[in-house]
Amino acid sequence: MIINRELCDICGSCVAVCPVDAISVSEFCVTINQDKCIECGNCQQICPARAISGAKK
Ligand code: SF4
Ligand code: SF4
């Protein structure tokens, strides 16, 4: 999964919906741990800024 940092407003919504805790948020950026991510697509669907892409489904 890919986060477009120019679109992301660091709202934190994606962190809560990740079933494997692959997303971490700091004051300045949001990061997806690609090794943990199972590409469920939850974060892509929840993101209000449409900043996440890359889900296969
Ligand atoms: S696609 Fe699913 S597993 Fe991967 S970062 Fe998003 S919510 Fe987490
Ligand atoms: S839900 Fe979208 S805008 Fe909010 S922190 Fe996650 S990537 Fe950024």
Query: Could you report the per-residue pLDDT of 6-51, keeping only the tens digit for each?
Result: 999 999 999 999 999 999 999 999 999 999 999 999 999 999 999 9
Query: Nearest-CA neighbor of 8 among 44, 40, 52?
Result: 52
Name which residue sits closest to atom 3 of ligand 2, judged by CA: 8
- What CATH architecture is 2-52? 2-Layer Sandwich (3.30)
Cross-strand bridge partners of residue 24:
31
Query: Looking at residue 55, what is its pLDDT?
Result: 75
Ligand 2 atom closest to residue 43's alpha carbon, by position in its atom list: 1
Domain boundaries, the chain: 2-52
Closest ligand to Cα 43: 1
Ligand 1 atom closest to residue 55's alpha carbon, by position in its atom list: 1
Query: Looking at residue 47, what is its pLDDT?
Result: 97
User: Is pLDDT of 56 > 70?
Assistant: no
Q: Verify whether ligand 2 is closer than 6 Å to residue 30 (CB atom).
A: yes
